[in-house]
């Protein structure tokens, strides 16, 4: 068996662009002696090798050729020149609904995809319960795919891709269509496949996912290889280029902007928040409810992203629907894999809330000093309970109510986050005396 799972050698892909449909007929009428089209090169001389068991990530702006590259790797497209080879069973999750017949039911498409990959009906009979359970689309699996929402199609496509024992898994940006809950499940499954030695080609704009998954990365720009190598280095180069491009855009925009209205910019935020941006899952006994959550900066303005080494305010508003003698308000912070990263609540912080009567509304502000975290998405899941830390009943819990991107730190990141640290040197260089390390 080859040590290489995927090989690209000087692969180029061009498309013929016609100004009007009649130009195609004109070209055919002249037996292509005259050209009535222009050439668009989606890829130009792309070469790389992916080792078996490696996770290889492809990054780049929209239109850079990433999806074309994966379609060639999957055998959907043929290169205009060069050679592309995949050694092993390939399962692909490419553009939305690819590989599905819209007239067939979801179940029929599951079996059809299995047959295309060389699996027998008995093989798919064994796998189907797991596929159905992972997709979580209920009775819709018996309905034609043309009735599916974009999220449902992605759920079924991913469930099929990971349960057909692929040797090579191709994953495009299709996961971005799904909700946060399902995306977290998918990312955990990708990590499991990675640990099992499945070769993965992963395309994503989420550089945090790329850094968490990738052994190596390829940066494409307008169909040309811009960088190829270790993931951290390639991602850093890409982000630096995007940052410079954004800075140039902002300079251009600022030259045409009008000043903001002073009264509007000075408007004070409301104390009670009654907005829940997202609800992936919700549970509780219903004796109280979360009515709003917002993530603010120290001035009280909503934040669009999380900044390393900054202070944020997580504001949670709750309403009692029954009498609560010991209410507890808190939240859980999760990372992009859906893992509980950190959390707290009023009882944990020794800030006991007074009893609440039915109909009472309370707003709690949590002031957080954020460390430098790795650049990825983080979600806030608010909750209200009644009782103590050891014995409580959950009144209301909302999964992933707010999802925000952590910006890239200006300093190098080693691991998941940077600990607040002080350094003290207790030996003199060249003195020959070893000093005792004292904890600051």
How far is the C-alpha of 373 from the C-alpha of 368, rounded, in Å? 13
Q: Which residues contact 3 (CB under 8 A, 6 or more apart)?
A: 51, 52
Q: Are residues 315 and 206 in the same domain?
A: no
Q: Which two tokens stand for residue 28?
A: 């055919």
Which of 205-214, 315-324, 371-380, 406-415 has the highest mean predicted lDDT (pLDDT)? Answer: 315-324
Q: Which residues contact 47 (CB under 8 A, 6 or more apart)?
A: 8, 9, 10, 11, 82, 225
Q: Is 181 left (phi over 0), alpha (psi -120 to 50) or beta?
A: alpha
Helix, strand or coil, per DSSP, at residue 216: strand
Q: Are residues 60 and 115 in the same domain?
A: yes
Q: What is the mean pLDDT of residues 33-51?
A: 86
**Residue 171 included in any domain:** yes
Q: Which two tokens stand for residue 336?
A: 């992009």
Nearest to 283 by CA among 400, 137, 399: 399
- Would you say 201 and 46 are in contact if contact means Cβ atoms under 8 Å apart? no
Q: Are residues 242 and 380 in the same domain?
A: no
Q: Is the pLDDT confidence value at 327 over 90?
A: yes
What single DSSP character describes residue 187? H
How far is the C-alpha of 330 from the C-alpha of 347, rounded, in Å? 9
pLDDT at 100: 81
Q: Are residues 174 and 296 in the same domain?
A: no
Q: Are residues 95 and 218 in the same domain?
A: yes
CATH number for position 53: 3.40.50.300
**Residue 8 included in any domain:** yes
- Would you say 306 and 405 are in contact if contact means Cβ atoms under 8 Å apart? yes
How far is the C-alpha of 187 from the C-alpha of 314, rounded, in Å? 26
Helices 121-135/106-116 angle, 10° precision: 130
- Would you say 200 and 55 are in contact if contact means Cβ atoms under 8 Å apart? yes
Confidence of residue 98 (pLDDT cuts 50, 70, 90): low
CATH number for position 400: 2.70.50.60
pLDDT at 329: 96
Q: Give me the residue label for tokens 């490419």.
A: 94
Nearest to 57 by CA among 211, 261, 185: 211
**Residue 400 included in any domain:** yes
Give the range among 135-139, 182-186, 262-266 with minimum mean pLDDT: 262-266
Q: Are residues 240 and 293 in the same domain?
A: no
Helix, strand or coil, per DSSP, at residue 91: strand
How far is the C-alpha of 12 from the C-alpha of 383, rounded, in Å? 53
Q: Look up the domain containing 317 and give its range.
A: 282-405
Q: Are residues 324 and 209 in the same domain?
A: no
**Residue 76 included in any domain:** yes
Q: Are residues 313 and 214 in the same domain?
A: no
Confidence of residue 218 (pLDDT cuts 50, 70, 90): very high
User: What does the pLDDT look like over 233-253, one tens digit per residue?
Assistant: 888 788 777 766 665 655 555
Q: Are residues 78 and 226 in the same domain?
A: yes
pLDDT at 260: 42
How far is the C-alpha of 135 from the C-alpha of 209, rounded, in Å? 22
Confidence of residue 265 (pLDDT cuts 50, 70, 90): very low
* Strand segments (E) across 247-304: 282-283, 288-297
The 10 Å CB-count burial string (b at 16+, else e) for 114-143 is: beebebeeebbeebbeebbebbebeebbee
How far is the C-alpha of 168 from the C-alpha of 146, rounded, in Å? 28
- Count how many domains the chain has: 2
Q: Are residues 172 and 240 in the same domain?
A: yes
**Residue 440 included in any domain:** no
Confidence of residue 264 (pLDDT cuts 50, 70, 90): very low
Q: Are residues 308 and 240 in the same domain?
A: no
**Residue 438 included in any domain:** no
Q: Are residues 200 and 287 in the same domain?
A: no
Other Cβ atoms less than 10 A from the Cβ of 155: the count is 25
Q: Which two tokens stand for residue 357?
A: 């009567």
Q: What is the mean pLDDT of residues 140-149?
A: 88
**Interior angle at CA 79, CA 76 and CA 83, nearest 5:** 105
């Amino acid at each position: 068996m080859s040590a290489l799972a995927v090989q690209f050698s000087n692969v180029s892909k061009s498309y013929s662009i016609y100004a009007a449909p009649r130009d195609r007929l004109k070209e055919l009428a002249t037996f292509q002696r005259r050209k009535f089209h222009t050439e668009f090169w989606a890829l130009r001389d792309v070469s790389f090798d992916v080792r078996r068991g490696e996770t290889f990530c492809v990054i780049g702006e929209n239109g850079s050729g990433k999806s074309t590259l994966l379609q060639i790797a999957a055998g959907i497209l043929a290169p205009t020149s060069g050679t592309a080879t995949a050694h092993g069973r390939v399962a692909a999750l490419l553009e939305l609904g690819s590989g599905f017949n819209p007239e067939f039911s979801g179940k029929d498409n599951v079996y059809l995809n299995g047959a295309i990959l060389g699996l027998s009906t008995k093989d798919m009979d064994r796998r189907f319960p797991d596929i159905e359970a992972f997709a979580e689309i209920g009775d819709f699996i018996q309905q034609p795919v043309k009735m599916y929402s974009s999220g449902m199609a992605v759920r079924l496509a991913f469930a099929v891709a990971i349960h057909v024992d692929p040797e090579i898994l191709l994953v495009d940006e299709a996961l971005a269509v799904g909700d946060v809950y399902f995306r977290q499940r998918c990312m955990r499954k990708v990590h499991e496949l990675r640990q099992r030695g499945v070769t993965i080609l992963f395309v994503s704009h989420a550089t945090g996912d790329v850094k968490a998954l990738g052994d190596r990365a390829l940066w494409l720009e307008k169909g040309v290889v811009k960088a190829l190598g270790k993931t951290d280095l390639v991602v850093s180069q890409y982000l630096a280029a995007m940052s410079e491009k954004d800075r140039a855009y902002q300079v251009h925009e600022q030259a045409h902007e009008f000043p903001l209205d002073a009264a509007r910019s000075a408007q004070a935020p409301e104390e009670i928040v009654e907005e829940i941006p997202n609800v992936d899952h919700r549970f509780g006994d219903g004796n109280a409810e979360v009515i709003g959550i917002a993530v603010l900066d120290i001035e009280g303005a909503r934040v669009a992203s999380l900044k390393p080494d900054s202070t944020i305010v997580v504001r949670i508003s709750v309403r009692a629907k029954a009498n609560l003698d010991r209410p507890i308000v808190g939240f859980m912070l999760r990372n992009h894999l859906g893992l509980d990263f950190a959390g707290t609540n009023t009882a944990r912080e020794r800030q006991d809330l007074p009893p609440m009567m039915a109909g009472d509304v309370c707003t709690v502000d949590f002031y957080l000093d954020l460390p430098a975290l790795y650049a990825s998405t983080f979600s806030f899941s608010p909750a209200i309970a009644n009782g103590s830390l050891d014995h409580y009943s959950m009144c209301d819990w909302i999964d992933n109510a707010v999802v925000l991107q952590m910006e890239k730190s200006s300093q190098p990141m080693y691991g998941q986050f940077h600990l607040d640290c002080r350094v003290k040197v207790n030996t003199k260089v060249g003195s020959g005396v070893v000093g005792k390390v004292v904890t600051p």
